[in-house]
């Protein structure tokens, strides 16, 4: 699994809804997920689950005849989280640099108060 497959999987709002549902509810079967993701067909939910599983974002466990799905918290999700953490850290550094430049240039342009000559 690579970062591209993770971001392709996350590009779909339906798949993000499925991930949010699993994050809130833990392990569920496809029927329970489909009941909550009502804006797509039930068969479409299975397709989205297969893509999420292929990207390493969701795990599948068999219990008898049922297939149960849950977030794969140790899988590819860590790639996406690491990417966003790096992105945010770099953005914060850039904001700090711009703020320092702004403060430095503002304090340099301040005219000192006039003193009374008398």
Instruction: Indicate which CATH number applies to the domain containing 16.
Output: 1.10.10.10
Beta bridge partners of 63: 66
Looking at residue 107, what is its pLDDT? Answer: 77
CB-facing half-sphere around the CA of 47: CA atoms within 13 A: 7
**pLDDT class of 1 with cuts at 50, 70, 90:** low
Question: Within a domain: residue 45?
Answer: yes
Question: Within a domain: residue 114?
Answer: no
Question: What token pair was written down for 43?
Answer: 């068969």
Looking at residue 67, what is its pLDDT? Answer: 95
**pLDDT class of 25 with cuts at 50, 70, 90:** very high
pLDDT tens-digit profile of 63-101? 999 999 999 988 877 777 777 888 889 999 999 999 998
- Please report, for residues 5, 57, 85, 87, the alpha-carbon distance to residue 2 in angstroms, rounded to integers and kept in the order given: 6, 11, 17, 18
Question: Within a domain: residue 12?
Answer: yes
Mutual orientation of helices 3-10 and 77-108 as an angle, nearest 10°?
80
pLDDT tens-digit profile of 32-55? 999 998 888 989 999 999 999 999
Question: Residue 21's domain spans which residues?
Answer: 1-101
Question: Within a domain: residue 7?
Answer: yes
pTM: 0.70
Question: Within a domain: residue 6?
Answer: yes
Alpha carbons 86 and 92: distance in angstroms, whole number: 10
**How many independent structural domains does the chain possess?**
1
């Amino acid at each position: 699994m690579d970062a591209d497959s993770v971001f392709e999987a996350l590009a779909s709002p339906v798949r993000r809804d499925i991930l949010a549902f699993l994050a809130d509810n833990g392990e569920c079967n496809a029927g329970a997920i489909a009941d909550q993701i009502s804006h797509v067909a039930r068969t479409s939910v299975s397709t989205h689950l297969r893509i999420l599983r292929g990207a390493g974002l969701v795990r599948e466990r068999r219990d008898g005849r049922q297939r149960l799905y849950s977030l794969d918290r140790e899988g590819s999700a860590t790639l996406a989280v690491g990417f966003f953490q790096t992105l945010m850290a770099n953005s914060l550094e850039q904001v700090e640099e711009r703020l320092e430049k702004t403060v430095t240039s503002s304090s340099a342009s301040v005219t000192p108060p006039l003193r009374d000559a008398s």
